[in-house]
Amino acid sequence: MDFIQGFNRCQLQMLSFDTMVKQDSWARIVDLFVDILPLKELGFKSTHASEGRPPFDPSDLLKLYLYGYKNQLRSSRKLAHACQVNIEVIWLLKGLTPSARKIAYFRKENSTAFKKAFRHFVVLLKDWSLIDGETIAIDSFKIRAQNSLKNNFNQKKIDRHIDYIDGKINEYQNQLEEEDNADRKEEIEKKIAYQNSKKDKYEEIEQQIKDRGVSQISLTDPDAKSVILHRNVVNVGYCVQAGCDGKYNLFINNDTGTVNDTHALSPMALDAKSLLGLDTMNVITDKGYTTGKHIDICTKNNITTFSSPKDHSSQHNGLFDMQIFKYDKENDFYTCPAGQILSTNGTVYNKNKHKVKHYKNRQACKTCELRNQCTKNKNGRFIERSIYQEALDENKKRVADNPNYYRLRQQITEHQFGTLKRQWGFTYVLMKGKENVLSEVNLMMICYNLRRLMSIFSINDLKNKLKELVLLFLTKYTTYRRIYPMNIQKMLTC
């Protein structure tokens, strides 16, 4: 039977390396893109060559990383191997073969520069009118850290371990009292000493938790936290915040630090607004971000929030819903379903980091016929009103009045997360520490935005657009500065 045959390996051929890389290759786009970046101003440093020879050009190493992160080649060893066997990488680096160590150090030493490069790119996209900043959706995704669950501790886990060890020690001590054989006794004493050394280790960790005033501690990556990855699966990782623009669903900014979204709304929204130089903007977020304080901060900074409202706890206990109580803003009191006034003494209390005022009318509640439907509290109905309730109510009304607009949230943010995680394998990070983890996130987001441009423009249009900038950048840097002054300003200040 005939089969399709490959070429003759022994046949000599005259060919240029350039012909071996397709015209629409990701490597070609990365090559052009890195050439338009003012790497020096962005703060890129190259790792020094120990033998005294010149270091590698940061642009070559950045190209290597951008090529690799898009193609699931993230580890420095895989990248070093690709430099020797992957035709596209050999073309991209013009045959350079940096060692895995050099590649790894470049990523480690340029975390701030990666961030600046991403932000520079975002401003460039705004200059190209691909980002308009009208609607920003903020959401988060979780990724695993370089820290096993075994090396993450909270007080409850430490107590459980210490209780177990105490039980073991008691058991061995009982055995010791009953044992007459000297060899056997020595063996048991060794076991007790081993358990005591383990207990010392847990007590040391317990002390660290107390000294730092934190609720949990990770031993391998101190910045990583115990997070729920999905469907109640807990692992140690990072919760990465991402802002995306509604026009072409491009990434705008990112951050990490907290394990949930509760305190991320205003920092992310303000950062996006300042980066894009906007006067006003709309932000769409899910329920996790709905916090009175942050919605209030956004409102005061001309950012209109569309954050899914949270249900009031009274909606689930079978008693009168809070919505039935009418609030009088002018006189600062509530009117209850029985027509009674529930007033406040004006004091602001701290409740679980939330600032609230209390409203009650004990006398009226004592004799109220509706009491059984209203409260189970022996002192009568008691209302806690956040000092940011007005901002929360306005946000709730906006979401209710614009259901179709709110529904854009999923379209704007969630598809990108799927691409990063499922297609590009970004479900875990290779580096430790918040700054280093963010440098990986920034690399991924640059890759995503760049890849997205390949879909928005035709490949040729994109290449021509990038080539124009390369030419400007190489021949007349001052002109480049004049045309894109905002980029330079931003990258120096971010």
CA 458 to chain centre: 31
What is the number of H-type helices and E-type strands within the chain?
20, 14
The sign of the dihedral angle between the CA atoms of 396, 397, 398, 402 is positive
Tell me whether residue 100 or residue 370 sits nearer to ligand SF4 (CB atom): 370
Tell me the window of 31-39, 208-216, 368-376, 472-480 that interacts with ligand SF4 (CB under 6 A).
368-376
User: Is residue 89 within 8 Å of 71, Cβ to Cβ?
Assistant: no
Site size toward ligand SF4 (CB under 6 A) is: 13
Rounded-to-integer distance, Cα 210 and Cα 191, Å: 29
Rounded-to-integer distance, Cα 400 and Cα 295, Å: 16
User: Is residue 409 within 8 Å of 137, Cβ to Cβ?
Assistant: yes
Minimum distance of ligand SF4 from residue 392's CB (angstroms): 21
365 binds ligand SF4, rule: CB under 6 A: yes
- CB count within 10 Å of CB 96 equals 15
Tell me whether residue 164 or residue 320 sits nearer to ligand SF4 (CB atom): 320
- CB count within 10 Å of CB 284 equals 27
Q: Pick the binder of ligand SF4 from 92, 93, 380, 453 (CB under 6 A).
A: 380
Minimum distance of ligand SF4 from residue 368's CB (angstroms): 3
359 binds ligand SF4, rule: CB under 6 A: no
Minimum distance of ligand SF4 from residue 332's CB (angstroms): 16
55 binds ligand SF4, rule: CB under 6 A: no
How do strand 152-154 and strand 216-218 relate by DSSP bridges? antiparallel
Give the residue ranges of DSSP H helices in 57-154.
58-70, 76-85, 87-92, 100-109, 111-127
385 binds ligand SF4, rule: CB under 6 A: no
Tell me the window of 1-9, 84-92, 297-305, 331-339 that interacts with ligand SF4 (CB under 6 A).
331-339
Q: Pick the binder of ligand SF4 from 152, 291, 340, 395 (CB under 6 A).
A: 340
322 binds ligand SF4, rule: CB under 6 A: no
Tell me whether residue 99 or residue 343 sits nearer to ligand SF4 (CB atom): 343
User: Is residue 466 within 8 Å of 29, Cβ to Cβ?
Assistant: yes
Q: Pick the binder of ligand SF4 from 78, 108, 198, 371 (CB under 6 A).
A: 371
Q: Pick the binder of ligand SF4 from 283, 336, 437, 469 (CB under 6 A).
A: 336
Contact footprint for ligand SF4 (CB under 6 A): 336-338, 340, 364-365, 368, 370-371, 374-375, 380-381
